[in-house]
Structure 1
Amino acid sequence: MKIYLLGLLCLTLAIPLSAAEPARKVLYIGIDGTRFDAIEKADTPQLDALMKDGCYSPTCLILGERYQKNDTVSGPGWSSILTGVWADKHGVNDNRFVGSKYTEFPHFFVRLKEAIPTARTVSHVTWEPIHKFVTASADVSVNYEERAHGVLDYDRYDNAAVAASVKELSEGNPTALFTYIGQVDIAGHTHGFHPSVPQYIEAIERADKLVGQLIAAMKARKTFADENWLVVVISDHGGKGKGHGSGHKSPEILNSFLIVSGANAERGEIDGPTYLVDGPVTVLTHLGVKLKDEWQLDGQPRGLKK
């Protein structure tokens, strides 16, 4: 009996304990009004590295096949990016946010909290309507835009939002962190949405540097080796001339982009059509949230390894 027990003990000790699965986390970055062909023209080493370490769609569509009556502006765009449903469901057809239905079709933070109540969710933005209307069930939600203080300075606002996100990554323990960068859209409205416009390209390059700060802070986390981060970067629309409204037939406006990067991401260009609503569904899927039929999500997880 002693020999049998000793053999069993030795066999048990010889079997390695399975390592705990790394904690899944998401860094979700939104860069307003950014054309992919302008990213290709600009010097964007940070976005380039994310695409190399993941996958991307250069033609992520801002309108779905079922419903296309909303205007091609930020209100419905960011609502779709953060809820995973189109405007006929979330109710936002323009920048007035009249008729919004975020109770029925909420920010993906709500769905994450339903599945994982202990998840920490953080949103840092520089466009006030996202903070005022869209963000829900967030542990931290801050807007850094200052419309009441004279000349608008989105470079400063974006730097403040990113600095707060860097602090969260360095000192906190976020499950899902959303950071919004607004200055590219402002440059487009002021100077033009086109790769040939120097000021538009310069704004994209500044945004790329901000992305780099976020990635550096993420990788510098003491617990990074024990975590499984997915980085998703997306924009709400492109642009043509100095605008993007009523762009239902303009490819320059209809085509956004989607980058999905990290250990769980596929590599190369994403096959097939990709849509804004795919962003939050990809995030939820990576975080291990079981998608429910009653949520009526329009998006599909894109760019994740099977």
Structure 2
Amino acid sequence: VATAEPVLAGLPLTAPARLSGEPVARAALWHIRKGLYAAVAGARPSGTTALLEDVAVPVEALAGTCAALADLFARHRYADSVIFGHAKDGNLHFMLNERFDGGEAPARYADFTEEMVDLVLGHGGTLKAEHGTGRVMAPYVRRQFGDELYDVMREVKSLCDPDGVLNPGVLVSDDPEIHLRHLKTVPTVEEEVDRCVECGYCEPVCPSRDLTTTPRQRIVLRREIAAAEAAGDRTLARELTDAYDYDAVQTCAVDGMCATACPVLINTGDLVKRLRAEEHGRATRAGWRGAARRWDATTRGMARGLDL
């Protein structure tokens, strides 16, 4: 701490640096750090997909890699991107938002990925640090590890999965453009749905998580219904909508517990309340508004009715 404080004092920081051993202060800072991805992704433009990558380079190359990544963001017009990670390990997470209309990747996404791979491998880094190698980095595994090691991977894969049915296209793939296929589109639906990054933080606090669906699943299903309607698949849209009424609308507790855990403060209960209101006509809604204004008399009347 004594060595670090003079160094920190000389840096052009936006706020004074403070090293703290207090659990409450540390917890507050970690809350910001752990919620950074969801907070930034939650503010993304509607209809865009949030993409999170994690790479690692030797620690001495970390600052230069950050600067070069920022330059790549600027040149490829990814203005809302953010970099964070674990500096002592040379580990970087970065996020960018992209619009995959019709499941097609724009040229800038392909060009950015190629340059990013060249940058990381040029510093002697790895294209995946903590998270598993998925489709986005699958075409570059051979480039990182070389032909001999890659052939060993292929042999192990073929021994364990001779028919290629286990997670095809992930980690090991013969398709040099696998990272540009099967891209996730995010249709515009409504405010709560559009902000959601599907992180799942809301699920442990949901009362109905073991009964029907969680807040995350309710939002994902809204997206699937919108996608089916946009694709003209009325049969699928109708099936999903019919199942949604009980699995999502009628069995939601609308208690707002999801908002207490959500990094972007989505209250799925508010969404469900609107969906419930839409199921009833104007006269029904007017009647219940009148009951709400005279709730004491309403509950007494209900009690008498139950007695009878």
Q: Which has the higher helix share?
A: 2
Q: Which has the higher strand share?
A: 1
Q: TM-score range by the shorter chain?
A: under 0.3
Give the structure-1-normalised TM-score. Answer: 0.23
When Rg is computed on C-alpha atoms for both structures, the one with the higher figure is: 2
Give the structure-2-normalised TM-score. Answer: 0.23
Higher relative CO (CA 8 A, sep ≥ 6), structure 1 or 2? 1
